[in-house]
Amino acid sequence: MSYPVWHPFTNMGEFLEDPLILTKGEGINLYDEQGNCYLDLNACLWSLSLGYGREDIIEAMMDQAKKIACLPLFGRSHQAAVDYAEKLLGYLNGDFSKIFYTSGGSEAIETALKISRAYHCVTGNPQKTQVGHFSNSYHGVSLGALSIMGIPSIRKNVGPVPTDSFEIPMSYDISQENWEDYVEKIEQCILAQDVKTVAAIVIEPVIAAGGIIPIPSQLIRRLKQFCITHNILLILDEIVTGYGRTGYLFAYQEIGIVPDLITVAKAITSGYAPLGGVLVTAKIADLFMTGDVTLNHGFTHGGHPIACAAASKTLDILHSEGILNHIQDNTDYFSQQMQTLDDEFEIVEQVKGCGYMYGVKLVDQHDAANLAPFARKYGLLFRRPAENNVIPVVPPLVSTRQDIDNIVTRLRTIITEYLLAI
């Protein structure tokens, strides 16, 4: 039989020349059929925060499967969904009052877009349908999510997408030193759309697939004030940054604002089960809790009980094992070690990031994708470069300083061998 799987975001011709089939995960490592060991620099597409083989998460999932293995939340509920929501919201100091469950990130974005439009309709502003997003941003690949896709190549070969959206310029070069240069341009771009028709603005605290670009907190705070002034909802996409990636449970807590909606997924279960959701402030959620107002929207497996059990145990571990403090204690060390690559190699143009989330930008003359075969040889996996010719370095949150040293040492070897080969 020919190989039976069609992989997402994969050049199948290249894959089939040398397929990588992994058979076991243990800690932060993966193993193939031949027993070769790899460390996934993308942590299972930003999801695997706590590593493979966590018996406590697996047991929580098994316990829930024995109680109720499947129950859609259409007109009924199950205890796992209620318990997790109460636990999560309890950590957020009353900033949010509800979570609308989905099965993953693209569904969470779709949900946030619909909630934004529904909110404006219910409050008497049905003309507010446009959504602004930033260049380089990635928010998912369903058609609604593609309408706010800031990476043009991902829209290729799918025909027209919904048009009630507009792009706001955002540069890889934005930093703590120059963020003010961008503020007026951003505000003018939004005002140019006829602000009375703008429903929401979506932004990632750290643009992830677009090149690991941390957005200065000051800029997001200014954006929040602008949105309040013009009755625009602010959606913070924390599908990647949520659940500890930046050293906080959610990045908004460090930024110092409360967005109207937050999209979550990926590390919500440490990758052990598909789950996502939208955190919703009381200002919005309360409108849909009484009377005859219904949000006619949902997904069969959104809030799946086994996934909720995994999410609950993941949240427990983040706090009981001090994972957030672990990230904060190591973030300067991680940054310093990553910066050595910039110091040592002319091929490295810049290293940017925060927490456990860094990107190595290569100069344009060298395609970062060409380093992938060398990375695999030395036991590092990165699926594909991020935009802006960036190698993402986003390991599991449980990675130690020794693991960080190991990663940087291997990257140094990979870059050296690549340079010798060209």
Among 247, 160, 177, 170, smallest CA distance to 202 is for 170
Residue 240 to residue 246: CA distance in whole angstroms: 10
289-294: average pLDDT? 88
120 with 131: CB under 8 angstroms? no
107-121: average pLDDT? 98
Give the tens place of pLDDT for each residue, 33-70. Answer: 999 999 999 999 999 999 999 999 999 999 999 999 99
- The pLDDT, as a whole number, for residue 157 is 86
For each of the domains in the chain, give its residue range(s) and CATH number, in order of start. Answer: 12-53+322-421 (3.90.1150.10), 57-320 (3.40.640.10)
- The pLDDT, as a whole number, for residue 391 is 97
**Residue 160 banded pLDDT, cuts 50, 70, 90:** confident
CB-CB neighbours of 157 under 10 Å: 5
Give the ranges where 147-296 is alpha helix by DSSP (H).
180-191, 217-229, 251-255, 282-285
- Whether residue 258 is predicted with pLDDT greater than 80 in this model: the reply is yes
DSSP 80: H
Phi, psi for 362 (deg, rounded to 5)? -90, 155
CA 144 to chain centre: 17
Residue count (the chain): 422
196-218: average pLDDT? 97
**Residue 397 banded pLDDT, cuts 50, 70, 90:** very high
- The pLDDT, as a whole number, for residue 159 is 83
Indicate yes or no: pTM above 0.85: yes
CB-CB neighbours of 408 under 10 Å: 19
- The pLDDT, as a whole number, for residue 197 is 98
336 with 301: CB under 8 angstroms? no
Strands (E), 163-204: 165-168, 198-203
Diameter of the chain by CA atoms?
69
Residue with tokens 């990553």: 338
415 with 348: CB under 8 angstroms? yes
Among 266, 329, 1, smallest CA distance to 139 is for 266
323 with 244: CB under 8 angstroms? yes
DSSP 268: G
Residue 348 to residue 344: CA distance in whole angstroms: 8
**Residue 162 banded pLDDT, cuts 50, 70, 90:** confident
- Whether residue 76 is predicted with pLDDT greater than 90 in this model: the reply is yes
**Residue 1 banded pLDDT, cuts 50, 70, 90:** low
Residue 412 to residue 417: CA distance in whole angstroms: 9
Give the pair of three-digit tokens for residue 395. Answer: 């390991």
15-30: average pLDDT? 95
**Mean pLDDT (the chain, rounded):** 96
Start-to-end CA span in the chain (Å): 38
